[in-house]
Amino acid sequence: MRDILTLMIFTGAVGLVGSARGQAPAPTTPAPGVVQQSIPQPQPGVPSAITQPPPCLPLDLQSPSFQECLIGPAEPVAVAIAGVQPNPGARFWVRGEYLLWWTQGSQLQPLVTTGTPGTNPFPGVLGQPGTTVLFGGSSIDNRVRSGARFSGGMWIVPSGGFGIDGSYFFLANRNSRFDARSDASIGSELIARPFFDVLTGLQNAQLVAFPALIGGTGVLAGGGAGLASGNISVSTYSRFQGADINAFSHLRAGYNYWLQALYGFRYLNLEEGIAISESSSINPALPAGSPFFGGSTIAITDQFNTRNNFYGGQVGLRGEIRSGRAFVEARGTVALGVTNQTVDIRGSTSITPPGGPTTTTPVGFLASGSNSGHFTRNQFSVVPEVGVNAGVQVTRHLRAFVGYNFIYWSSVVRPADQIDLGLSGTQIPTDTRFNPTAGPARPAFQFRETGFWAQGVSFGAELRY
């Protein structure tokens, strides 16, 4: 009896297995309250109005294979499904960019002039016939500059869409130089430094070089050496750099786009300077001592340096839209904080009479005792920035792009703005009225601030892993 029962059970099991292999399973009825969803299949020869992503199995939102099915392997995007943001395929990224930027120029007052000696009694004085500006009276430091930016980031909580990133950029130092020289021979150039004489209320000029004149008399005779030979040099420099560090989190995301919020810290640094140096060799035929200093060599230097450091909190948005391999990303931030502004002004005058010794006074021409020193203050500032990049996904891990950026800094000090051309003879060592304790105290110092912008294009590449 036991053997017959065993044979019946075995025979029934074999029949069930054969039925399972040869017949389709019977349709199941969904349980009450459960919606059964079917994926429409494209019909041959009938174009589909909407391209659907392939079905993703298994239906595990945290499964890497499910995420790659939705967003592609190693794609920096999170997809929100049922309120869950899955872990992107890439955890780390680094980016390098070549910058081709312009910066806002600085308006410089006329610093060096020339004129035709013998045609009017005040050659080189602004407003006089024949006076032309050799240097100044225009914008400086406004030409294109090269630079670089390096950035990188990582996901801290991938499943929650939270991470950190940072960047550093710099522009190559901008240096410029102007030189003028005259040997005081007939036909050589007159060199002067214009200023406004606050004691007389008239325009005036300090002579650096005064050539001989045809038909002149005395030291100005045709074969003479003129009043003085001399040279002047004006050099400028500019450095601009910055960095930021941010935390970011997802706001919205989809199959081909994402939007993130940024919040962090920003730093900017702008350092600039103007240096003026002149040297005059006075004709020894002139009387010695002030105001002619016959036979003496006079060297004068003026230096104006500024430094701006911005420290502030930053918030912003950035996002990306993709279509196939192409993508467009945009970013906008605004930082609020404090700019530490520093101005350093110093000068010197050295007079070496025939046979010496040299006497040096820590007072220049535009950098006098009345405005020289180290000055610093803190000012509230706003720094907005916008940028957009367009590029292509070259490989699974590499993308290339070209972009545009614009940065504005609401409050900086620049050296050209700190120069006061209103001078008093009481503050000029080569003037007969020289008396540092007497007034008026001109040139004078006061903080003069302005806005500053930098903008330009960039070319970059990014690696993601």
Q: How far apart are CA 78 and CA 259, in angstroms?
A: 10
335: three-class secondary structure by DSSP: strand
54, 59, 65, 67 alpha-carbon torsion, rounded to 10°: 80
pLDDT tens column, 249-274: 989 988 899 999 999 999 999 999 99
Give the pLDDT band (50/70/90) at residue 227: confident
The helix or strand, by DSSP H or E, that contains position 8, with its residue range, turns out to be helix 2-22
pLDDT tens column, 130-164: 899 999 988 887 789 999 999 999 988 876 678 99
What lies within 8 Å, CB to CB, of 19 at 6+ separation is: none
Global confidence as pTM = 0.79
* Cα separation values, 184 from 129, 174, 230, 234, 282, Å: 21, 33, 8, 20, 10
* Cα separation values, 219 from 179, 189, 284, 299, Å: 26, 16, 9, 22
Residue recorded with tokens 């990582």: 154
DSSP conformational letter for 216: B
Residue 214 has pLDDT above 70, yes or no: no
Closest CA to 427 of 176, 197, 261: 197
**What pLDDT was estimated at residue 89?**
58
